[in-house]
């Protein structure tokens, strides 16, 4: 166990919850704005998607509350069960899953909703890998001793998600594992070797699927096929650019009228930029920055290595997922198909992200007590040592401390 970190200021928790509330409630508003037109046309209900998202937001808040009240020991036990369950459900997805746009990613929950096990698998990977690397810190050993465990923890869900196919979610699992490795103190040469191996592997996988090659071609030059694979990127650029500094006004987007695909899911940020302008888009970036700062503060104040790695790993994983989405919709990287956490429409993503935030808060349990008790114990030990040495100096023999007056008096009368 590591020595207690810096004292956790309550403001770190409030900042994390404040950023979460801003992103989730703002996302709910923008989902309504981005989906109302198509919802009215398809379902005769302009609030179809926002009502479903509101239900999952309530469920997510409950998940946050329950997770935040867990002890570190309970979280440790839950991690492995969650990963094994996620892997089993990923197998079921391949057998009886549902999906769209050529990808089968979810399980049908009796026609009421769908569940994407990849979200659970990523969380399970972080929790199990954190336990492994916390154990490595307690009991140092060569990396080769744990290579098989690492390969099974990350490789099984990665392979199952890649078969769906869902390259974005598969890569996000590997990124989450890599983050835990860094926080777990893996040496620089192993980190460099892992990154190089991932780069080579992704370069090999890229041409094996037509849709991945098409996305990469659109990333290099979307104007080469403006009505095909480059269409979404070009429309996203148009949406972001037309908003200017202050935006066209809430609800005034033109792209949501069927021009920009997925305007309320993966590509919700361009709608925010169009309606609320550069300032609106930057507010999302700033909110994730505050979220990251608060999560790292919580990680640094954790009482032990497992809590530190879990809090830091989940924080950076959520923020990295946001960065991947932002980079995708602004054509800085090929389209990855990752939602914007807390903001994009998606019940599974929202539920598990809120659960992750609850676990980050759970890692703060006892952070202040662990630090506050330390000086008291030190003073007590120093005081006892001084009293004992002082008694030994009197009459050349040890005597009971004067702190306990009654017992000291008895000692003197004898």
CA distance linking residue 402 with residue 408, whole number of Å: 6
Pairing status of strand 113-115 against strand 103-109? antiparallel
CA distance linking residue 109 with residue 107, whole number of Å: 6
pLDDT (0 to 100) of residue 405: 39
Does the structure show a pLDDT above 80 at 258? yes
Give the pLDDT confidence of 262-315 residue by residue, as tens digits: 899 999 999 999 999 999 999 999 999 999 999 999 999 988 999 999 999 999
Residue of higher predicted confidence among 101 and 43? 43
Residues 345 and 352 sit within 8 Å (Cβ to Cβ)? no
Give the pLDDT confidence of 44-81 residue by residue, as tens digits: 999 999 999 999 999 999 999 999 999 998 999 999 99
- Tokens 């154990």 belong to 135
pLDDT (0 to 100) of residue 383: 44
Whether the ω angle into residue 169 lies within 30 degrees of 0, i.e. cis, is no
Tokens of 367: 């952070």
Question: Structural domain boundaries of the chain?
Answer: 22-69+224-379, 78-208
Give the pLDDT confidence of 20-49 residue by residue, as tens digits: 999 999 999 999 999 999 999 999 999 999
- Tokens 């994730």 belong to 288
pLDDT-derived band of residue 407, with 50, 70 and 90 as boundaries?
very low
CA distance linking residue 64 with residue 326, whole number of Å: 25
- Tokens 């098409």 belong to 214
Residues 250 and 275 sit within 8 Å (Cβ to Cβ)? yes
């Amino acid at each position: 166990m590591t020595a207690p970190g810096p004292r956790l200021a309550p403001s770190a928790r409030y900042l994390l919850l404040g950023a979460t509330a801003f992103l989730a409630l703002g996302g709910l508003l923008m989902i309504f704005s981005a989906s109302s037109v198509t919802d009215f046309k398809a379902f005769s209900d302009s609030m179809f998607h926002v009502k479903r998202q509101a239900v999952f937001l309530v469920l997510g808040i409950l998940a946050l509350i329950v997770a935040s009240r867990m002890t570190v020991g309970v979280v440790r036990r839950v991690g492995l069960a969650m990963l094994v369950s996620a892997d089993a459900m990923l197998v079921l997805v391949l057998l009886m899953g549902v999906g769209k746009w050529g990808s089968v990613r979810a399980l049908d929950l009796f026609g009421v909703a769908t569940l994407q096990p990849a979200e659970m698998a990523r969380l399970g990977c972080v929790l199990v890998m954190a336990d492994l690397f916390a154990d490595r810190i307690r009991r140092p050993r060569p990396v080769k001793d744990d290579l098989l465990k690492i390969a099974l923890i990350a490789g099984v869900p990665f392979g199952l998600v890649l078969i769906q196919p869902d390259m974005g979610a598969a890569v996000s699992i590997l990124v989450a594992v890599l983050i835990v490795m860094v926080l777990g103190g893996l040496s620089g040469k192993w980190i460099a070797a892992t990154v190089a191996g991932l780069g080579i592997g992704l370069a090999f996988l890229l041409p094996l699927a037509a849709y991945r090659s098409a996305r990469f071609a659109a990333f290099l030059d979307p104007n080469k096929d403006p009505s095909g694979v480059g269409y979404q990127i070009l429309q996203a650029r148009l949406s972001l650019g037309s908003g200017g500094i202050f935006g066209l006004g809430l609800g005034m987007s033109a792209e949501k009228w069927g021009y920009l695909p997925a305007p309320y899911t993966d590509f919700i940020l361009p709608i925010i930029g169009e309606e609320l302008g550069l300032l609106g888009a930057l507010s999302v970036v700033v909110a994730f920055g505050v979220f990251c700062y608060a999560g790292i503060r919580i990680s640094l104040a954790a009482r032990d290595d497992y809590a530190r790695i879990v809090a830091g790993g989940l924080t950076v994983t959520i923020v990295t997922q946001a960065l991947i989405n932002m980079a995708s919709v602004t054509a800085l990287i090929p389209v990855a198909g990752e939602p914007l956490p807390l903001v994009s429409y998606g019940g599974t993503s929202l539920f598990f992200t809120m659960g992750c935030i609850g676990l980050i808060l759970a890692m703060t349990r006892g952070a202040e007590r662990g630090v506050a008790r330390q000086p008291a114990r030190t003073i007590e030990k120093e005081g006892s040592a001084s009293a004992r040495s002082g008694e030994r100096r009197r009459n050349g023999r040890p005597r009971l401390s004067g702190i306990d007056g009654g017992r000291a008096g008895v000692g003197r009368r004898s």
